[in-house]
Amino acid sequence: MNQVQHYSAPIGRLFIALIFVMAGLNKIFAYEGTQAYMDAMGVPGGLLPLVILAEVALGLAVIVGYQTRLAAFGLAGFSVLSAILFHGDFSDQNQMTLFMKNVAMAGGFLFLVAHGGGAFSLDNRLAKND
């Protein structure tokens, strides 16, 4: 594996997952507004703690490369589900762009499912210790 491959994996994991960690943390500080938005979109606001946990925990797992395939699979599903539930209004150009962003992120996560976390991941380090 060349140097570009070694370093692109952790940087790529950081770039693709950081949005989820930040979004989850932001939802904590805008809890009531986020809960109201979810309710308005037909999604029970009571699910917000689970959403926050999923975004932060799975995002951090991808960033450090721990259980990368499983965490990436979870975030791929989360991305597609949130695209459908919150960004399905294609008459609104902004919503269509957000929908496509979520689908593209799901595609990136599926690459992680297929290829794993790479050289600088906890998965790789733990596998070497076995």
Tens digits of residue pLDDT in 62-118: 999 999 999 999 999 999 999 999 999 999 999 999 999 999 999 999 999 999 999
User: Is pTM beyond 0.85 here?
Assistant: yes
As a whole number of angstroms, the distance between CA 58 and CA 70 comes to: 9
pLDDT at residue 9, rounded to an integer: 92
CB 103 within 8 A of CB 97: no
Q: Based on the number of CB atoms within 10 Å of its own CB, is 71 exposed (0-12), middle (13-18) or buried (19 or more)? A: buried
CB 129 within 8 A of CB 16: no
Q: Flag whether pLDDT at 125 surpasses 70.
A: yes
Per-residue pLDDT reduced to its tens digit, 26-70: 999 999 999 999 999 999 999 999 999 999 999 999 999 999 999
pLDDT at residue 3, rounded to an integer: 81
